Amino acid sequence: MSENKKNTRRSFLKMGLGAAAIVPVTALGLSNSAFAATDPKAIKWDDEMDVLVIGSGMAGMIAGIRAAETDPSIKVVVADKMSRLGGSSLISGLNMAVVGSDLQEKIGVTDDSWELLLKDIEKEAKGYNHRPLTEVAAKGTLKLYNFLKDHGVQYDMSIGGGTGVKKLGGHSRARCVWPAGGGTEVIKKLQQFCAEKLSNLEIRKKVLLEEILRNDEGRVIGVKVREKYRFNSRPEDLGDNDNPEINKSGKTKYYKVKRGLVMGSGGYNQDRRFRGDEVGTMYNAASTTQPGATAGAIKAMINSGFKPIHMTLFRFAFPIPTEDILWGILVNPRTGERFVDEYSNNDRQTIGMAILEERRAIDGEHTVLIYDQKGADEYHDQQRLHLSLEGKNGTNGTIWKFETLEELAINFDMNIATLKANIEKYNIDMEKDQDAFHKPKSKLKTATSISKAPYYAMQLNPRYNYAQGGALITPEARAIDVVTGDTIPGAFVCGEAAAGTYGYIRLTACSTIDCGTFGMVAGENAAKEQPWS
Amino acid sequence: MNKKLFVLALLVVGALIGTGGSLITAEIVHNTGNEAFCGSCHSMEPMAKTFKLDVHGGNNDRGFVAECADCHLPHDSVVSYMIDKTKHGINDVFVETFTNTEEIDWIARRSERARYVFDSGCLSCHQDLLDKTIASNPKSLQTHAHYKNQLAKEDPIQCVSCHATIGHADQLRTVLNETNPEYSFSSSKAMAITKKH
Amino acid sequence: MKKLLIIAISFFVFSMSWATISETTPEPNWQELAQEYSIKPHHRALKFDCVMCHSESTPDDYEPLETEQCLDCHGSSQKVANRLKFMDANHTNPHNSFHDGLDLDCYECHAEHEPSINLCTRCHEVGNWMSTVK
């Protein structure tokens, strides 16, 4: 493409031009469009609303609330295809990076800044991100923190040694805070706020988005949905639920959306086929996002011309902090042997892929991470360690405690002799800082051997828990048309459903700020759109 | 004295003894059917405690309190009532005094409720239940009509077939779990040494 | 001739209505339905049949139940949660859980015509929290 057009697009994004700047497709001299235009007069509308938000997780709820607050005279509907509201947010920890909070002030951190946060994020993004978008997230953290507080969310003061704020891996300042009770707290409090204070906001369950309708000028005018939809969590590939041949539940309805459609529909992590098409080994990865995280919404967006980006990127999550893996050793249960440097620069992708590859060789059996007491003592995140010991840390998140290595070996069907031999070898090599996998002794502090009872073990497995891929947006949360490159009038995307804020990896504690800041922007802008009819 | 007077005296004494005996029996029966009596045995404490929380046990705005015997003894005839009462009276005293009642699995016993909760008991108070045409929960009209239908059949269902937790405020299992936990989550050691499965 | 015509027309109309009526109201094969859509032991013990739960006029129209319909008999979410109150201490009462409180629909776990699932086990090990879901 020409240099001119590139610059136009970049400055377009920078200035964040709105609907008024849209040029109809035909005027650009392009005869084909990315979507099939709908004639609004040909549709028999079953319902109408000013703003329709798809998704009831953090992004969707915040978008809905901001839309309803921005204009109390408009009708806002937050629709979710699941019968269990809250998306993945409900079951997530939802820790969040906040620059300049009162909690940070109290512990004497006065030199944090959004620029520093941006730098931390971009170090992980490795250049894949679109900086104007990342800046929106980096700049909006304090506003989001206060928004949540004002809407009933309380923060957990027991973390960070009683200060309520922690320095997590990859962050150069102590700035991460937790809602008290994680995502459940956020979702329930926001739902409560809506019920008590926002009479113009309605939340609807079991409404599946099937199609996004745009008129011949490219404006989003409405949606085709199925009401009383029943998601089925039994299929091997949950993505089958988006296939109307397989899941036929629900009755078709047409909603007229007068001002704005906001897509807060999350990721597609549970869609084996969809993510497996992007990255082969991902077909078999585990995921602990909500079961409804399938590709239906992104497909509907693509089908109506929204531009998808970053679809091949993925992010592993471990139930324990990546930087607490190195204190132990990862072994193949059948051979008792190690297979990777457990430090690997704290790169979760490397460690995750190594585990998946090793598991492939042993029919999918789990590899085992073993600590001794010294390793447990070095744990950064004692809170997480105890959650695991109580069995409350999700799938493969449980850590078992054993008085002897013999007990440990029996529990995981391992040969005690080979295990002990391998541990012995590790201890000897590490003493000389000549580890077979080049694990640096300097990083291990006091945990330079596996020798002190009691022992701890878990079946460490990477979870594919964040989909960087999604619809490209502008800093105003507006969707972009894949053919024209212009914003799509009346279309907004926020949270995990959107893409561009992050890149190769998403820094920990940053999904919340993406969902929250763009949720606010999307909701406000959707409410301010001029109605098309 | 003469025969007539003797017979008369016998009759009078007999009547007095009979009346006295009946009154004493009635008094005994009357006083051994309520929560104060049944609940005085240690093993019955969870039952008594939860009964008091129930609408039948006084937790209502009418001041109404049922007795254990109202539900847990048959009321279809005086004879079956008295036979069961005597049988259980002897059994309960014996078991409470001479055996270790801690070994009784009360939680499992709850699934045998059809054996020791009698429809005649329920219906002796809820007399018009099966003939109602309007109800605060309209579904109950359908379900009670179903119950009535089944009475004529070979193996009828009972009130407690559906009303599984009636009389004890839905809390009996919870209170029993205080001393006999079904799951080990309450003990802090539990998770740390549980094997993987 | 007129008479014949009237008779012919009446016969035609009569047979068409008879055919239509018998087409639109065939008796459902209840035996077959009961076998294909078996019910859970605890409901079978109560001698329930299809119409105890399904209120639509014909089996062809039967829809999966909504939570409100289950609660017509099971009372309320609060009542159902109360029965497992001893699990509240651990926040693992499936009917009053940490994540969902009283908000879960029955069918998130419970199914009548196929085995139920345990929603909690999607993410958690529940061995010492609860028994099998009925």
Please choose, from the candidates A323, A403, A415, the residue with its C-alpha nearest in 3D space to the C-alpha of residue A368: A415
Pairing of strands C96-97, C92-93: antiparallel
* Least confident among A5-19, A370-384, C1-15: A5-19
pLDDT beyond 90 at C75: yes
Cβ-proximal residues to C103 (8 Å cutoff; 6+ apart), any chain: A84, A85, C77
Tokens of C67: 């939570």
Instruction: Locate the chain C residue with the closest alpha carbon to A391.
Output: C125
Q: Which residue of C76, C85, C86 to mutate against B (max B Cβ within 10 Å)?
A: C86
Question: Hey, is the C-beta of C105 within 8 angstroms of any chain A C-beta?
Answer: yes
Cis? peptide before A132, omega within 30° of 0: no
* Least confident among A16-25, A503-512, B59-68, C84-93: A16-25
Residue B73 to residue B119: CA distance in whole angstroms: 10
Given an 8 Å threshold on Cβ–Cβ distance, is C122 in contact with A83?
no
Mean pLDDT of A78-107: 96
Question: Hey, is the C-beta of C98 within 8 angstroms of any chain A C-beta?
Answer: yes
Question: Hey, is the C-beta of A459 within 8 angstroms of any chain C C-beta?
Answer: no
Report yes or no: A310 and A503 within 8 Å, Cβ to Cβ: yes
Given an 8 Å threshold on Cβ–Cβ distance, is B170 in contact with C79?
yes
Q: For residue B83, how many other CB atoms are within 10 A of its CB?
A: 13
- How close, in Å, is residue A421 to chain B by CA atoms? 24
Q: Which residue of A369, A388, A400, A403 to mutate against B (max B Cβ within 10 Å)?
A: A400
Q: Which of C98, C117, C124 sits opposite A394 (nearest CB)?
A: C124
Report yes or no: A447 and A378 within 8 Å, Cβ to Cβ: yes
Please choose, from the candidates B154, B139, B151, B179, the residue with its C-alpha nearest in 3D space to the C-alpha of residue B47: B179
Q: Is B11 helix (H, G, I), strand (E, B) or coil?
A: helix
Residue C52 to residue A422: CA distance in whole angstroms: 64
Given an 8 Å threshold on Cβ–Cβ distance, is A230 in contact with C117?
no
* Predicted local confidence at residue B192, as pLDDT: 38
| Intervals of chain B under pLDDT 50 | 189-197
Helix axes A58-70, A182-197, angle to 10 degrees: 20
Cβ-proximal residues to A141 (8 Å cutoff; 6+ apart), any chain: A96, A97, A98, A99, A100, A114, A117, A513, A517
Instruction: Locate the chain B residue with the closest alpha carbon to A403.
Output: B193
Cβ-proximal residues to B21 (8 Å cutoff; 6+ apart), any chain: none
Residue B119 to residue B113: CA distance in whole angstroms: 11
Given an 8 Å threshold on Cβ–Cβ distance, is A398 in contact with C125?
yes
* Predicted local confidence at residue B30, as pLDDT: 86
Please choose, from the candidates A299, A302, A213, the residue with its C-alpha nearest in 3D space to the C-alpha of residue A252: A213
Tokens of A149: 């507080």
Which residues of C are less than 8 Å from B161 in CB distance?
Answer: 45-46
Which amino acid is it at A51? V
* Predicted local confidence at residue C25, as pLDDT: 65
The H or E element containing residue A298 is helix A296-303
Tokens of B27: 């008094």
What is the interface pTM, i.e. ipTM, of the complex? 0.83
Question: What's the Rg (C-alpha) of chain A?
Answer: 24
Residue A121 to residue A116: CA distance in whole angstroms: 9
- How close, in Å, is residue A247 to chain B by CA atoms? 31
Q: Which residue has the higher pLDDT, C35 or A496?
A: A496
Which residues of C are less than 8 Å from A395 in CB distance?
Answer: 122-124
Tokens of A444: 């291990």
Residue A510 to residue A175: CA distance in whole angstroms: 11
- Establish how many alpha carbons lie within 13 A of residue A419's alpha carbon, considering only the half-sphere containing its beta carbon: 25
Residue A137 to residue A131: CA distance in whole angstroms: 10
Mean pLDDT of C92-118: 96
- Number of B/C CB contacts below 8 angstroms equals 53
Chain A residues whose C-beta is within 8 A of a chain B C-beta are 389-391, 398, 400-402, 411-412, 459
* Greatest C-alpha distance within chain C: 90
Instruction: Locate the chain A residue with the closest alpha carbon to C99.
Output: A184
> How many H-runs (helices) and E-runs (strands) does chain C carry?
5, 2
- How close, in Å, is residue C80 to chain A by CA atoms? 18
Question: Hey, is the C-beta of C65 within 8 angstroms of any chain A C-beta?
Answer: no
Report yes or no: A56 and A83 within 8 Å, Cβ to Cβ: no
Instruction: Locate the chain B residue with the closest alpha carbon to A456.
Output: B192
Report yes or no: A502 and A434 within 8 Å, Cβ to Cβ: no
Q: What is the mean pLDDT of chain A?
A: 92
* Predicted local confidence at residue A25, as pLDDT: 44
CATH 3.50.50.60 in chain A: give the residue spans: 44-88+186-316+466-502+510-528
Q: Which of C105, C108, C124 sits opposite A392 (nearest CB)?
A: C124
β-bridge partners, C101:
C97
Q: What is the dihedral of CA C30, C31, C33, C36, to 10 degrees?
A: 170
Cβ-proximal residues to A77 (8 Å cutoff; 6+ apart), any chain: A49, A51, A52, A53, A64, A201, A202, A203, A204, A255
Question: Hey, is the C-beta of B197 within 8 angstroms of any chain A C-beta?
Answer: no
Residue A188 to residue A248: CA distance in whole angstroms: 30
β-bridge partners, A402:
A455
Q: Which fold has domain A44-88+186-316+466-502+510-528?
A: FAD/NAD(P)-binding domain (3.50.50)
Residue A365 to residue A461: CA distance in whole angstroms: 10
Among 1.25.40.10, 3.30.110.70, 3.90.700.10, 3.40.50.2000, name the CATH number for the domain at A320-461. 3.90.700.10
Residue B98 φ then ψ, to 5°: -110, -5
Residue C67 to residue B11: CA distance in whole angstroms: 69
* Predicted local confidence at residue A6, as pLDDT: 46
Which residues of A are less than 8 Å from B196 in CB distance?
Answer: 398, 400, 411-412, 459
- Computed from CA positions of residues B64, B65, B71, B74, in that sequence, does the dihedral angle turn out positive or negative? negative
Given an 8 Å threshold on Cβ–Cβ distance, is A84 in contact with C105?
yes
pLDDT beyond 90 at C101: yes
Residue B87 to residue B72: CA distance in whole angstroms: 13
Tokens of A54: 């798809």
Residue A436 to residue A329: CA distance in whole angstroms: 12
Residue A153 to residue A142: CA distance in whole angstroms: 14
Please choose, from the candidates B159, A421, B62, the residue with its C-alpha nearest in 3D space to the C-alpha of residue C46: B159
pLDDT beyond 50 at A2: no
Residue C102 to residue A188: CA distance in whole angstroms: 11
Residue A323 to residue A395: CA distance in whole angstroms: 19
Given an 8 Å threshold on Cβ–Cβ distance, is C107 in contact with A181?
no
Report yes or no: A515 and A142 within 8 Å, Cβ to Cβ: no
Q: Which residue of C46, C70, C84 to mutate against B (max B Cβ within 10 Å)?
A: C46
The conformation of residue A155, written as its DSSP 8-state character, comes to B
DSSP string of A359-371? HHHTTTPPPEEEE
Given an 8 Å threshold on Cβ–Cβ distance, is A391 in contact with B194?
yes
Which residues of B are less than 8 Å from C47 in CB distance?
Answer: 146, 150, 153, 157
pLDDT band at A233 (very low <50, low <70, confident <90, very high): very high
Given an 8 Å threshold on Cβ–Cβ distance, is B190 in contact with C73?
no
Question: Hey, is the C-beta of A230 within 8 angstroms of any chain C C-beta?
Answer: yes
Report yes or no: B60 and B72 within 8 Å, Cβ to Cβ: no
Given an 8 Å threshold on Cβ–Cβ distance, is C127 in contact with B170?
no
Residue A246 to residue A129: CA distance in whole angstroms: 37
pLDDT band at C20 (very low <50, low <70, confident <90, very high): low
Question: Hey, is the C-beta of C124 within 8 angstroms of any chain A C-beta?
Answer: yes
Please choose, from the candidates A417, A416, A437, the residue with its C-alpha nearest in 3D space to the C-alpha of residue A426: A437
Residue C102 to residue A474: CA distance in whole angstroms: 39
CATH 3.90.700.10 in chain A: give the residue spans: 320-461
* Predicted local confidence at residue A346, as pLDDT: 87
Q: Which residue has the higher pLDDT, A284 or A268?
A: A268
Given an 8 Å threshold on Cβ–Cβ distance, is A84 in contact with C104?
yes
Q: Which residue has the higher pLDDT, B132 or A279?
A: B132
Please choose, from the candidates A492, A490, A498, the residue with its C-alpha nearest in 3D space to the C-alpha of residue A514: A498
Q: Which of A389, A411, A459 sits opposite B195 (nearest CB)?
A: A411
pLDDT band at A32 (very low <50, low <70, confident <90, very high): low
* Predicted local confidence at residue B189, as pLDDT: 45
- How close, in Å, is residue C84 to chain B by CA atoms? 6
Given an 8 Å threshold on Cβ–Cβ distance, is A83 in contact with C103?
no
Q: What angle do CA A116, A63, C107 make, to 5 degrees?
A: 115
pLDDT in tens, A443-454: 999 999 999 999
Report yes or no: B161 and B95 within 8 Å, Cβ to Cβ: no
Given an 8 Å threshold on Cβ–Cβ distance, is A394 in contact with C117?
no
pLDDT in tens, A164-205: 999 998 999 999 999 999 999 999 999 999 999 999 999 999
DSSP string of A65-109? HHHHHH-TTS-EEEE-SSSSTTTTGGGS---EE-TT-HHHHHTT-
- How close, in Å, is residue C99 to chain A by CA atoms? 5
What whole-number percentage of chain A has pLDDT above 70?
A: 94
pLDDT band at C19 (very low <50, low <70, confident <90, very high): low
β-bridge partners, A309:
A470
Residue C47 to residue C62: CA distance in whole angstroms: 19
- How close, in Å, is residue C61 to chain A by CA atoms? 13
Given an 8 Å threshold on Cβ–Cβ distance, is C99 in contact with A184?
yes
A 376-395 → C contacts, CB under 8 A: 391-392, 394-395
What whole-number percentage of chain A has pLDDT above 90?
A: 81
